[in-house]
């Protein structure tokens, strides 16, 4: 059994909340996460930038903007762009963690 966590919550003083989705690290996983967010949280895509090794999509759910980012070396993660978006990012992260608990 692996000791690696499926989801990590990173909160540093004076830094926005970041939720690393370790169990879904690749480019295809990013697309699956977008679909999940659209279906489960009625998330809207406000803007998207896809580069050769990274992606950064600005999203909106429950009235708050946040980001889903991908880096080929780092993986996929949610990023709370403001303090007011931290609760929705935390809620989504906890939901993903719960759903991935049996992997």
Helices 27-41 and 86-99 meet at what angle, rounded to 10? 110
SS3 state of residue 82: coil
The upper half-sphere exposure of residue 9, i.e. CA atoms within 13 Å in the direction of its Cβ, equals: 12
Domain residues of the chain, as ranges? Answer: 8-83
pLDDT (tens digit, 9 = 90+) per residue, 12-53? 888 899 999 999 999 999 999 999 999 999 999 999 999 999
pTM above 0.85, yes or no: yes
Exposure b/e, 55-94, CB count within 10 A at least 16 = b: bebbbbbeebbbbbbbeeeebbbbbbbeeebbebbbebbe
Share of the chain above pLDDT 90, in %: 83
């Amino acid at each position: 059994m692996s000791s690696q966590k499926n989801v990590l919550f990173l909160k540093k003083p004076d830094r926005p909340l970041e939720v690393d989705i370790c169990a879904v690290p690749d480019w295809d996983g990013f697309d699956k996460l977008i679909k999940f967010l659209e279906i489960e949280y009625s998330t809207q895509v406000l803007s998207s930038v896809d580069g050769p090794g990274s992606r950064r999509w600005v999203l909106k759910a429950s009235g708050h903007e946040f980001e889903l980012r991908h880096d080929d070396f780092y993986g996929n993660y949610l990023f709370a762009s403001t303090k007011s978006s931290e609760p929705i990012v935390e809620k989504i992260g906890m939901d993903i963690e719960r759903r991935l608990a049996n992997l």
